[in-house]
Amino acid sequence: MILILSANKDFTTNEVIKWLHIFDKKYIRVHEFELFEIKVIDKKILLESQRNSFYIDDINSVWFRRGGIKFNRLQFQNESVNKIMDETQFCLEDYVIKKLESKRHINKQSNNRTNKLLILEKAVAVGLDVPTYFLADNTDHINLGKTITKSISENIMVKSAFDDFDGILYTSIIDKHEDEVFFPTFFQEKIEKEFEIRCFYLNGKVWSCAIFSQNDEQTKIDNRIYNYGKPNRNVRYTLPPEIHHKICILMTELDYNCGSIDFIKSIDGKFYFLEVNPVGQFLGISDICNYALEKEIADYL
Amino acid sequence: MRYFNLFSSVLLTKGASRILISDLERNVSELQSLDLYNLTEDLKLNSIEDVIKEYDRDSGEIINEYIAFLLENEYGFISHNNWDNSFNQLSFNYDSSDVISNLFLELDNFSVLHKIRSAMDTIDIRYLVIYSIRQLSKEELGELDFIFENTPLEGIEIYCPYYDQINDAFLSYLSDTSKRIYKLVLYNCDTITFSTNENLKFSLEYTKDYITIKNCGIVDLKYFNTNNSKIFESKNYNSCLFKKIGIDIDGNIKNCPLMPDHFGNIRNTSLEKVLEMAGFKKYWNLTKDHIEICKDCEFRYICTDCRAFTEKTHQNKEGLDTSKPLKCGYDPYTGEWSEWSTNPLKEKAMRYYDFKIKQ
Amino acid sequence: MENRIRSEEKNKLPLNFKYLNKLGSKKSKELNKKICYVKCDKFQTDFLTRVTPFKAFTRML
C-alpha cells in the first residue's frame, strides 16, 4: 500500500494517481486538514482519521507531496500531566513519522522545510558554482543593475497586495539606492545568462529543461513571469556529468530524494546553482519536454 | 562559421506541395514552401556560410531572408563553430493515463447512461460525447452530471435538438449546477431564445441545420489543433479512434458508432469485455502516415482522421481501410481545398454510405 | 502601481517587497473563473480538475 500525503486540491497528485490506477497499485491519499489518532490493535499501530484508517505496517511506500500527517493531540487538565502527556504523544507521533519515513519514500515530512541560505552554503561546499550572495539591510555595497534580490522564504505569495490582484515576490534587479534601512534582505550577483535550466531530480536521476528566456524583456530576470503571447522556448537538455554528479551529492547531503533544481548557464559557459525546491512543480517541464514525470513517480512508488 | 539549430519543439511536416511548421509551445501551425524545408535540411548538414555558397548569388539573399524568418519566429537559433548538441530531441511518445479517452454515444434512452455509469467503476472514461436524436428535457440535461457524480469522468459534450425552453435562465442554471459539461451544441435551431453568454462554464454553439450523427467525420481547418498531445497522439496512433469507444442508437458497442463492426450490445455485454475482444482495437495503431493521400499531406499530424466514412479506394494487407477520409476536400498535391460533397470522384463512396448526392 | 503592503506595515520589510509583482493577469483571472472541479472518490479527491480535451472528438458541424 502506498501512502500519499498531499492536498485535496493538488492537480499533480491527481495526475500521479491516474497512473497508479494504470499500474494497478493501491494507495491511501491523505488530505491537508486530516487529523489522525494513533491507536493500537493487536500490538499493531493503526492510524485513524475521519477519512482513512490503516496500519503503518501495511504501508510500503510514502510520497510526501504536501501537508503531511497531522495528529489530534489531546490536552489534559493537570498541568504536569499535560506536560508528560504532551511529550508522550510527541514520542508516538515522532515514532510513526520516522517509521513511515524509513519505508520507500519520496521526500520526508520531517525534512520538508528548505532553508535557502543553508542550501547555498552546501551547494558551495559540494563544489557547485553559486553567484555571490550576501544579506544586507541597506544598499551601500550594491552594484546597481548588477544585483538581484529575492525572497529567502518558500512562500512568495502576498494576498491582496494590490487593489484587485494578489502579489508575488519574484526575483528583481536592484535599480536604485535606498536611503532608509530595511529588514535583512537577500542579495545576489546577477549572472548574464545564456539560458536557465530547470531540473527534476528523483533518486539519482535528473531530467532537465533549458529555458530560453533571454530573448524576452518580460521574462529576462524571472522566467516565472509568464508571457502569454510568446512563451519562452523550453528544450530538453542534458547537464554535464560533473554537474549531475554534484547535484546527486547535494541532494544526498540535504536528504532530499526528489525535488526541482534551478540553474543558470552563464554566457561564459558556467553552470550557476540557484535553488532547490523539494516540493516544487514539475508538471510544466514534464509536459513541455514530454518526460512523463508523473508516470515516473507512480512507477517509483 | 555559423550553424542553424531548429528548436526541438518545432515540427516541420513535409507535404507533397508545401510544409506545415507546427510550434508545439505556442500551439500554432503555419504553411510554408518546400524551399524552406529543403533549406532547413541543408542547414542540418552544413554551416550557414556553406549553404549560401552552394546557391547562386540571387538565391543567397533569399536564403538570408528565410533564415531571418526562422529566427524572427524563434523556430531556431544560431550557434558558432558547430551545432549545439547539448539540446536533446523531443520524444514524440504518447503516454496517457486514460483507458478510454472518449465514449461517443448516440442517445435515445437514458437507461444506457446508467449502464455506462456502472462500467466506470472498473474502466476510466475521461470524456463522454452525447449525440441525442431527440430533445432532452431540462430535467434530463440537468440530470446528466448527476448520473456521473463521483466518477473519474472529467467532461461531457452534448449535441441535442433545440427547443424554446432552452433560454438564458436555464442555461445559466445548467452552467451553475453541472460541472462536467464543457460543450453544448444545439441543432435544429431556427429562432433563438438565448443570448450567447460568455459567462457560461461551457461553450455554447448552435446551428439551424438538422444534424444527424452521420454528419461526423468532417475534415476542415477549424478542426485542426496544434498542441503536444494532439501531435504525439497522431504520430503514434489513429487520431480519431485511439482509446475511443462508441455506442450506437441500438446499443451496439463499436470503436465508433458510425462504423459497421460491432462487438456486442450494451444490454448483454460490458464495455470492459468489448475492450478485450479481438479486432476492437484494429484501427487504433493506424496512423496518418499509412493512409493513402493523407501520408503526403502537410496537415497529417494536426488533422483528426475518420475511418467511418472514407473514399473506399484502398485496403492494406491486414484488411484495414487505408483510404482518404471521404469528407476531406483538401488535395495535398495541388494545395487546394474544394467542396468534398460535390466531387464526382467521391460519388461511388457516397452512394455506398447512402449520402445524398448534390448536383 | 504601488502595492499597499509597504504602507500598511509598521515593521520594516525586506527590500524585495518594494519590487512586488502582481500575480496573474486579467487573462489568467478569466481562465480561473471557468475552472471546474469534480468530486471523485476513486481518485480520493474532491477536486478533480475538468480539463478541456486537446482535440475535437467529433466533427459534425
How distant is the Cα of C32 from the closest Cα of chain B, in angstroms? 11
At residue B212's C-alpha, the angle toward residues B210 and B214, to 5°, is: 140
> What is the distance between the alpha carbons of residues C47 and A6, in angstroms, rounded to a whole number?
12
> What is the distance between the alpha carbons of residues A3 and A59, in angstroms, rounded to a whole number?
6
Asked if B90's CB is within 8 angstroms of A290's CB, the reply is yes
DSSP character string of A50-117: SS-EEEGGG--EEEE-SS--EE-PPP-SSHHHHHHHHHHHHHHHHHHHHHHHTSEEES-GGG----HH
Q: Which of A30-44, A214-228, B30-44 has the lowest mean pLDDT?
A: A214-228
Which residues from B are below 8 Å from A15, CB to CB?
Answer: 97
Under the banding of pLDDT at 50, 70 and 90, the label for residue A154 is: confident
Please state the separation of Cα B156 from the chain's center in Å: 17
Under the banding of pLDDT at 50, 70 and 90, the label for residue A157 is: confident
A207, A270: one domain = yes
* CATH code for the part of the protein at B100-211+244-276: 3.40.50
The reply to whether A25 touches chain B by the CB within 8 Å rule is: no
The reply to whether A267 touches chain B by the CB within 8 Å rule is: no
A123, A247: one domain = yes
Question: What does the pLDDT look like over B57-97, one tens digit per residue?
Answer: 777 788 889 999 999 998 998 888 888 888 888 999 999 99
Chain B stretch 199-238, residues whose beta carbon is closer than 8 A to a beta carbon of chain C: 199, 201, 205, 207, 209, 211, 213, 215-220, 223, 225, 227-230, 233
A124, A222: one domain = yes
> What is the distance between the alpha carbons of residues B213 and B47, in angstroms, rounded to a whole number?
54
pLDDT (mean) for B308-328: 96
Q: Provide the 3-class DSSP secondary structure of residue B254.
A: strand
- The pTM (predicted TM-score) of the whole model is 0.91
Q: Which of A99-103, B22-26, B144-148, C27-31 has the lowest mean pLDDT?
A: C27-31
A17, A92: one domain = yes
Q: What is the pLDDT of residue B109?
A: 92
Asked if the model's pLDDT at residue A215 lies above 70, the reply is no
Asked if A21's CB is within 8 angstroms of B88's CB, the reply is no
Q: What is the pLDDT of residue B232?
A: 97
A54, A91: one domain = yes
What does the radius of gyration of chain C's CA atoms come to, in whole angstroms? 20
Domain C-terminal end among A148, A173, A190: A190
Highest mean pLDDT out of A193-197, B68-72, B268-272, B292-296:
B292-296
Asked if A289's CB is within 8 angstroms of B25's CB, the reply is no
Question: Residues B140-149, buried b or exposed e (16+ Cβ, 10 A)?
Answer: bbeebbebbe
Question: What does the pLDDT look like over B94-149, one tens digit per residue?
Answer: 999 999 999 999 999 999 999 999 998 888 899 999 999 999 999 999 999 999 99
Question: Where do the structural domains in chain B lie, given as residue ranges?
Answer: 2-80, 100-211+244-276
Residues 6+ apart with CB under 8 A from A184: A135, A136, A137, C14
pLDDT (mean) for B3-31: 94
The reply to whether B114 touches chain C by the CB within 8 Å rule is: no
Is residue B357 a contact partner of residue B249, using CB atoms and an 8 Å limit?
A: no
Q: How far are the Cα atoms of A94, A95, B126, C21 from residue A70, in angstroms, in the given order? A: 11, 13, 33, 34
Mean residue pLDDT of chain A comes to: 90
A23, A172: one domain = no
A94, A154: one domain = no
Question: What does the pLDDT look like over B152-162, one tens digit per residue?
Answer: 999 999 999 99
A126, A245: one domain = yes
How distant is the Cα of B151 from the closest Cα of chain C, in angstroms? 5
> What is the distance between the alpha carbons of residues B219 and C60, in angstroms, rounded to a whole number?
10
Residue B215 carries which DSSP code?
A: G
Question: Where do the structural domains in chain C lie, given as residue ranges?
Answer: 5-60
Pick the more confident residue, A168 or B269. B269
pLDDT (mean) for B312-325: 96
Max intra-chain CA distance, chain C = 63
Q: How far are the Cα atoms of A201, A211, B73, B117, B218 from residue A237, in angstroms, in the given order? A: 14, 9, 21, 44, 40
Q: Bridge partners of A197?
A: A210, A263
Q: Of B118, B202, C41, B182, nearest to A14 (Cα)?
A: C41
Which among A179, A182, A221 is the top mutation candidate for probing chain C, defined by the most C β-carbons within 10 Å of its own β-carbon? A182
Q: Provide the 3-class DSSP secondary structure of residue B117.
A: helix
**Total residue count of chain C as it appears in this document:** 61
> What is the distance between the alpha carbons of residues A180 and B90, in angstroms, rounded to a whole number?
50
Q: Where do runs of H (alpha helix) occur along chain B?
A: 34-45, 48-54, 57-72, 111-119, 138-147, 168-177, 228-236, 271-276, 347-352
Q: Of A20, B155, B94, B183, nearest to C51 (Cα)?
A: B155
The grid coordinates listed for B69 are 524568418
Residue C43: closest CA among chain B residues belongs to which residue? B152
Q: What is the pLDDT of residue A158?
A: 82
Q: What is the pLDDT of residue A169?
A: 86
How distant is the Cα of C55 from the closest Cα of chain A, in angstroms? 16
Q: What is the pLDDT of residue A141?
A: 87
A124, A249: one domain = yes
Under the banding of pLDDT at 50, 70 and 90, the label for residue A230 is: low
Residues 6+ apart with CB under 8 A from B163: B135
pLDDT above 70 covers a percentage of chain A that reads 94
Residue A294 carries which DSSP code?
A: H
Pairing of strands B181-187, B203-206: parallel
Q: How many domains does chain A have?
A: 3
Asked if the model's pLDDT at residue C18 lies above 90, the reply is no
Q: What is the pLDDT of residue B69?
A: 94
A283, A154: one domain = no
Q: Provide the 3-class DSSP secondary structure of residue A237.
A: strand
Asked if the model's pLDDT at residue C32 lies above 80, the reply is no
Domain C-terminal end among A167, A190, A213: A190
The three state secondary structure string of B144-200 is: HHHHCCCCCCCEEEEEEECCCCCCHHHHHHHHHHCCCEEEEEEECCCCCCCCCCCCC
Asked if the model's pLDDT at residue C1 lies above 90, the reply is no
Question: What does the pLDDT look like over B239-252, one tens digit per residue?
Answer: 999 999 999 999 99
Q: Bridge partners of A267?
A: none
Residue B186: closest CA among chain C residues belongs to which residue? C61
Mean residue pLDDT of chain B comes to: 93
Q: Provide the 3-class DSSP secondary structure of residue B44.
A: helix
Question: What does the pLDDT look like over A84-143, one tens digit per residue?
Answer: 999 999 999 999 999 999 999 999 988 877 899 999 999 999 999 999 999 999 888 888
Which residues from C are below 8 Å from B239, CB to CB?
Answer: 55
Asked if C57's CB is within 8 angstroms of B154's CB, the reply is no
Which among B154, B184, B210, B214 is the top mutation candidate for probing chain C, defined by the most C β-carbons within 10 Å of its own β-carbon? B154
Task: State the amino acid at position B51 in one-letter form.
Answer: V
Q: Provide the 3-class DSSP secondary structure of residue A14.
A: helix
User: From the DSSP assignment, how many helices (H) and strands (E) are in chain B?
Assistant: 9, 14
Q: Which of A177-186, A251-260, B25-34, B324-333 has the lowest mean pLDDT?
A: A177-186
Under the banding of pLDDT at 50, 70 and 90, the label for residue B357 is: confident
Q: What is the pLDDT of residue A75?
A: 93
**Where does residue B164 rank: exposed (0-12), middle (13-18), buried (19+ CB within 10 A)?**
exposed
Q: Of A62, A71, A158, nearest to A112 (Cα)?
A: A62
CATH of residue A72? 3.40.50
Q: What is the pLDDT of residue A159?
A: 82
Per the structure, the complete domain to which residue A162 belongs is given by 132-190
Task: State the amino acid at position A234 in one-letter form.
Answer: N
Under the banding of pLDDT at 50, 70 and 90, the label for residue A223 is: low
Q: Where do runs of H (alpha helix) occur along chain A?
A: 11-22, 79-101, 116-125, 241-254, 283-288, 293-300
Asked if the model's pLDDT at residue A218 lies above 60, the reply is no
